[in-house]
Amino acid sequence: MSVAKLEQLSQSVVQDPSLATGAIPTKDWMDIPVVFKPGNYAYPAKQDKVEYLNSQKGLNFPNAREWSPEDDDWKLPENWKEIIIDGLGERLEKFRSLKIFMDCCVRCGACADKCHFFLGTGDPKNMPVLRAELLRSVYRNDFTLAGRILGKMAGGREMTVGVLKEWFMYSYQCTECRRCSVFCPYGIDTAEVTMMLRELLHLVGIGINWILEPASNSNRTGNHMGLQPHTFKDNVDFLAEDVEGLTGVKIEPTFNRKGAEILFITPSADVFAEPGLYTAMGYLILFEHLGLDYTWSTYASEGGNFGLFTNNETMKKLNAKMYAEAERLGVKFIVGGECGHMWRVLHQYMDTMNGPADFLEVPKSPLTGTVFENSAATKMIHISEFTADLIKHGKLNLDKSRNSHVKATYHDSCNPARAMGLMDEPRYILDHVVDWVEMPENTIREQTFCCGSGTGLNTDEIMELRMRSGLPRANAVKYVEDKHGVNMLSCVCAIDRATLTSLMDYWNPNVGVCGITELVGNAIVLEGETRGELDEGLRTMVF
């Protein structure tokens, strides 16, 4: 899909009539049908991927088929409506959040202009309140007294194929970033609504390939890239060789090693693609510097969890590998790498779904003796918590000047910020390894803007949409680029490293993207190193 030129899109965002730029549609939103055309939808999941997932014990992905959003006929099962309404009823009984969020909204509009998709597209249905109304209208019609009696007058509407199509369109134009929930006076969280919509759609065989293929890969090969064990190992070994080339220090990472003290799990993208590779090199350097007794796993080789974007059953099944592997290898605790949604799963879901992890010990840093009480139950700590503690105790030999080619800013990833409260640990680390500045206050910490492509939306066929929804983030980076000469956007998220790179290339081509641990790794002075001048840190090409 070709993407609009920068000038075109820049003008379009500001001038095209939209609710964001001041034009109010003349028709009621319920009367505006969705129209699918190339570029505004992500490709449907391939039939064999859906069938594979459906064949897995505990998962339910029925009605696999070939279909296209652009066709009138989506080949829905005959009783699709019954499936949807029953599915909604079941979820209302399982999730108090859903019931409360359906009943309590007063449509005050505080969330309306908080959504990056709304700011970038101006589409009224991208206001969080309307995204929820897409479901709420059906809920009212079928599950509330007022709706049953008054119908449309009470804001209810019949479940139709048109409504279903609308659900597909807009539940895949939400990245579950939860920014709206910060501003809502009742804490209504659109992520919950989007998750429910996606769960319901899967019941009638509607999903996107960019999510379901990685989910099935994660199940089978252990990681979403589909890397088989030997390939995964090769990739990490290549990175270790690169580190040796840069520093002269030979690193020999281990895999699936029983008896290691720590199991390290990070998103597989970090061992596979730029610029995540440099973050992975940072991990290797950091652990080598510490002489840490740790192992990688090829079986649990994915930190990310595409189940979070699918349904809670898939999330549980994929996540279960972490504890299964930790128990098999007999490690004491788990350290998790930099990733956004992965950490939402680890912080808010893992222990509930797959705990208790009583075969592990409360994490205790072997270097500083710090006991991580905040992870006493899950036994899994964030690499930034681990690193910040090391720096505080002076355990790292850091040379900040090695990052003098970098003027950084810091992007709070949605989930660590709003679903975990991990905000100051990365900042503490940055203070010690690089010269950096904050972006404007309405765009950081709990108010941070999504990269625009989270929850499995970082697929190329919707590139224009991604560039639009990423605009609020890109715009804040532009602000510090112009004002402070920022040339690097640092973050603690693997999806960010992939998606912000596209976003920066488009809106702010002079700004790169890196993980925090890349900067840490580059600043570390390794024992016995023979490192020369590396103008671009770990990114320097040396042959």
Partner 1 sequence: MKYAFSFLAVIALILIAWLGSQIPGMQYFFGVAIPYLAVMVFLGGFIYQVVQWAKSPVPFSIQTTCGQAKSLDFVKHNRLESPHTTPEVVARMALEILTFRSLFRNTKSEVHAGPKITYESSKWLWLFALIFHYSFLVIVIRHMRLFLNPVPEVIAWLDWADSMFEIGTPALYMTDAGLLIGLLFLFSRRLTNRQVRYISLANDYFPLLLLIAIGVTGVLMRMFLRDGIDIAAIKQLGVGLVTFSPVITADIGSIFYIHLFLVCVLLVYFPFSKLMHLGGVFLSPTRNMKNDSRQIRHINPWNPEIKVHAYSAYEDEFREFMVDAGIPVEKEPEPTEETPAEAPA
C-alpha to C-alpha distance for 169 and 413, rounded to whole angstroms: 24
Confirm or reject binding of residue 541 to partner 1 (CB under 8 A): no
Q: In 3D, which of 75, 93, 64, 172 has the Cα closest to residue 456?
A: 172
Report if residue 402 touches partner 1, rule: CB under 8 A.
Answer: no
Shortest Cβ distance from residue 315 to partner 1 (Å)? 10
Q: Is the distance from CB of 147 to CB of 154 less than 8 angstroms?
A: yes
Q: Between residues 56 and 63, which has the closer beta carbon with respect to partner 1?
A: 56
Secondary-structure percent of the chain, ordered helix, strand, coil, rounded to 5: 55, 5, 40
Q: What is the CA radius of gyration of the chain?
A: 23
Alpha carbons 535 and 538: distance in angstroms, whole number: 9
37 lines the binding site for partner 1 (CB under 8 A): no
At closest approach, how far in Å is the CB of 113 from partner 1? 4
Nearer to partner 1, 395 or 531 (CB): 395
Among 123, 166, 189, 481, binds partner 1 (CB under 8 A): 189
Distances from the Cα of 157 to the Cαs of 81, 108, 168, 200, 266, in angstroms? 13, 21, 17, 17, 44
Q: Which of 417, 429, 430, 480 binds partner 1 (CB under 8 A)?
A: 417
User: In this structure, which amino acid lies at residue 414?
Assistant: C
CA dist., res. 385 & res. 335, Å (int): 10
Q: Which residues contact 529 (CB under 8 A, 6 or more apart)?
A: 247, 248, 249
Is there binding between residue 182 and partner 1 (CB under 8 A)? yes
Stretch that binds partner 1, among 24-32, 159-167, 454-462, 534-542 (CB under 8 A): 24-32
CA-nearest of 227, 237, 230 to 267 is 227
Residues whose CB is less than 8 angstroms from the CB of residue 480 and which lie 6 or more positions away in sequence, other chains included = 409, 437, 438, 439, 486
- 217-236 positions binding partner 1, by CB under 8 A: 219-222, 228-230, 233-234
List 46, 257, 364, 484, residue binding partner 1 (CB under 8 A) = 257
Please report whether residue 145 would count as binding partner 1 according to CB under 8 A.
yes
Of 75 and 230, nearer to partner 1 (C-beta) is 230
Of 293, 431, 446, 461, the one binding partner 1 (CB under 8 A) is 446
Neighbouring CB atoms inside 10 A of 161's CB total 13
Interaction residues for partner 1, span 336-365 (CB under 8 A) = 346-349, 351-353, 355-356
Among positions 113, 142, 261, 293, the unique one binding partner 1 when judged by CB under 8 A? 113
Give the list of residues 6+ apart from residue 485 with CB closer than 8 angstroms, or none: 407
Closest distance to partner 1 from the beta carbon of 378 (Å) = 4
Q: Which stretch binds partner 1 (CB under 8 A): 43-51, 157-165, 285-293, 312-320?
A: 312-320
Interface residue with partner 1, options 37, 258, 394, 533 (CB under 8 A): 258
Q: Decide if residue 177 touches partner 1 (CB under 8 A).
A: no
Q: Under rule CB under 8 A, how many of the chain's residues touch partner 1?
A: 122
CA angle 176, 497, 47 (to 5 degrees): 60
Choosing from 35, 146, 161, 525, the residue that interacts with partner 1 (CB under 8 A) is 146
Site string for partner 1, 362-381 (x = CB under 8 A): --------x--xxxxxx-x-
Q: How many CB atoms are closer than 10 A to CB 177?
A: 31
Q: Tell the smallest beta-carbon distance from residue 25 to partner 1 (Å).
A: 7
Q: 183: left (phi > 0), else alpha (psi -120 to 50), else beta?
A: alpha
498 lies in the binding site for partner 1 (CB under 8 A): no
- Binding status of residue 86 toward partner 1 by CB under 8 A: no
Q: What is the DSSP string of 209-241?
A: HHHHHHHHHHHHHSSTT---HHHHHHHHHHHHH
187 binds partner 1 (CB under 8 A): yes
Q: Which is nearer to partner 1, 275 or 336 (CB)?
A: 336
Considering only 171, 217, 298, 453, the residue that binds partner 1 (CB under 8 A) is 298
The reply to whether 119 sits near partner 1 by the rule CB under 8 A is yes
